[in-house]
Amino acid sequence: MEKQCVVCGATYESKMPWAKYCSNRCSCAAKKSRNPERYRSYGNAYYKANKASVRACSRKWKKANLDKHNLHCHKYRARKRQGDAQGCSDWADLMVNPLVGKPCFYCGDFESGYHIDHHIPISKGGPHEPWNLRVACPRCNMSKSQKLPRTTFCEELFYV
């Protein structure tokens, strides 16, 4: 019986009428798309347990694929520049002015200094626009890093 793969659209032969995928790779991709948080937590746990080897592998990949790495960095910088830089800098100057006295957006701390944080990170497709900027204390901004605010970042900050 000839069928079409649900994930990649390739045609394949199957003797089983319930088969939906042409390969194990497509089956795994479908599982990951149905429950991305579960598989992301596996990746995070692996990274925490094997941080040195993961970083060494990343450095090795970067050396072998320098053009791809440079292209990624170039696209990141271009996305960051796409917004109205003047409007953002004016907003940032106002928000970090010590006379304004704004608390950290995430934890409410007034005392520990300020960073300007992109609420939706640029690496996740967030724009460099004034509405996407938040005042954050250094601890919250550094721990949030490139995470989306509604994912593990808020759980680490507020529920631990």
Distances 74 to 7, 67, 122, 133, 143 between C-alpha atoms, Å: 31, 10, 13, 22, 24
Decide if 68 is inside a domain: no
Residues 91 and 29 in one domain: no
The mean pLDDT of the chain is 79
Q: Measure the CA–CA gap between 107 and 156, rounded to whole angstroms.
A: 11
Decide if 23 is inside a domain: yes
Higher pLDDT, 123 or 30: 30
Task: For the chain, give the percent of residues with pLDDT over 90.
Answer: 13
Q: Answer whether 95's CB lies under 8 Å from 114's CB.
A: yes
Higher pLDDT, 113 or 56: 56
Provide the pLDDT for residue 100: 57
pTM of this structure: 0.43
How confident is residue 156, by pLDDT bands cut at 50, 70 and 90?
low
Q: How many domains does the chain have?
A: 2
Question: Range of 16's domain?
Answer: 1-34
Q: Measure the CA–CA gap between 81 and 86, rounded to whole angstroms.
A: 11
Handedness of CA 83, 85, 87, 89 (dihedral sign): positive
Residues 88 and 154 in one domain: yes
Decide if 58 is inside a domain: no
Decide if 116 is inside a domain: yes
Decide if 106 is inside a domain: yes
Decide if 138 is inside a domain: yes
Q: Measure the CA–CA gap between 64 and 107, rounded to whole angstroms.
A: 41
Q: Answer whether 113's CB lies under 8 Å from 95's CB.
A: no
Please tell me whether residue 45 adopts helix, strand or coil conformation.
helix
Contacts of 84 (CB under 8 A, 6+ apart): 129, 130
Q: What is the pLDDT of residues 40-63, one digit of tens each?
A: 888 899 999 999 999 999 999 999
Give the CATH number of the domain where residue 134 resides. Answer: 1.10.30.50
Tokens of 137: 């204390």
Distances 128 to 57, 96, 114, 145 between C-alpha atoms, Å: 31, 17, 18, 16
Provide the pLDDT for residue 50: 95
* Range scoring the smallest mean pLDDT among 12-16, 49-53, 149-153: 149-153
Decide if 153 is inside a domain: yes
